[in-house]
Amino acid sequence: MKNNKAYIIFTRIPTPGKCKTRLIPTYSGQEASDLQGDLLTDLLVSVVDLPAAGIDVFVAYSDEQGPTRFLNSLPAGVQAFAQHGANIGERMNNAMATVFAAGYQEVVLTGSDLPELTAQTIRRAFAVMKEIVIGPSADGGYYLIGAQRGVDLVPLFTNPIDWGQSTVLQSTLRAITRHDVQLLDAQVDVDTPADLERVKQHLDRHNQQLQQWLTEEK
């Protein structure tokens, strides 16, 4: 552990038919998998210098396929570990608990399918965090969640929450009313073809791989 803050990218290993399935059949399983990989690559490039700013970077990956090639592709300095748990709530809870157990005092977790997400967003999340920080997503869920050491993570992830539904954010906020919660600006996570159309209007220079993917799929 180099710093006392940690940022976790929560992702699937890009595998045809296993990720971004809501883009199918508009796009093939291979195209959806390539998009997953390109979004992750853009995000990693954006945040790879965070350790110099006091924030260590982790990748929590699904390991339904052999992870060796995936792990070898990660930038130097990015640490990685496998997700575990029966559902997405348990897996996020366990990912944050794993990093807290390593001694970190503040932890932020996001997905990997966020074209608008940059290192600036992550730094902002740590800057405003008092107990819990959440970045709402446009679909009624959230793209970012963070907490300080000592916050009980169980209500965040194990209350009855219909994961993947538009009620996730509100259900989460109801479960943590006793905490000081800071909200960031909303962002779009890419799950559907409509999401892709929406983010096309806001691409920036940090979206190089995504822009290349969009050009190839025209």
pTM: 0.94
| Burial profile 146-173: b = 16 or more Cβ within 10 angstroms, e = fewer | bbbeebebebbbeeebeeeeeebbebbb
Residue 163 near residue 89 (C-beta atoms within 8 A): yes
Q: Which residues contact 218 (CB under 8 A, 6 or more apart)?
A: none
Residue 20 near residue 35 (C-beta atoms within 8 A): yes
Polymer length in residues for the chain: 218
Span 147-169, average pLDDT: 83
How many CA atoms, within 13 angstroms, populate the side-chain half-sphere of residue 214? 16
For residue 142, give the 3-state DSSP assignment.
Answer: strand
Which residues on neighbouring strands pair with residue 148, listed in sequence order? 106
Query: Looking at residue 201, what DSSP letter applies?
Result: G
Helix (H), strand (E) at residue 35 = helix 29-47
Q: What angle do CA 39, 46, 77 make, to 5 degrees?
A: 100
Q: What per-residue confidence (pLDDT) applies to 86? A: 87
**Domains of the chain by residue range:** 5-217
Structure tokens belonging to residue 137: 């997503």
Choose between 214 and 55: higher pLDDT.
55
Tens-place pLDDT, residues 4-56: 999 999 999 999 998 999 999 999 999 999 999 999 999 999 999 999 999 99
Q: What percent of the chain has pLDDT over 70?
A: 96
Structure tokens belonging to residue 50: 């965070």
Phi, psi of 151 (to 5 degrees): -75, 130
For residue 123, the tally of other CB atoms under 10 A from its CB is 18
Q: Quick one: pLDDT band at residue 114, thresholds 50, 70, 90?
A: very high
Say which CATH class 5-217 falls into: alpha beta
d(CA 189, CA 206): 16
Tens-place pLDDT, residues 119-133: 999 999 999 999 999
Tens-place pLDDT, residues 174-210: 888 899 999 999 999 999 999 999 888 888 888 989 9
Q: What per-residue confidence (pLDDT) applies to 179? A: 93
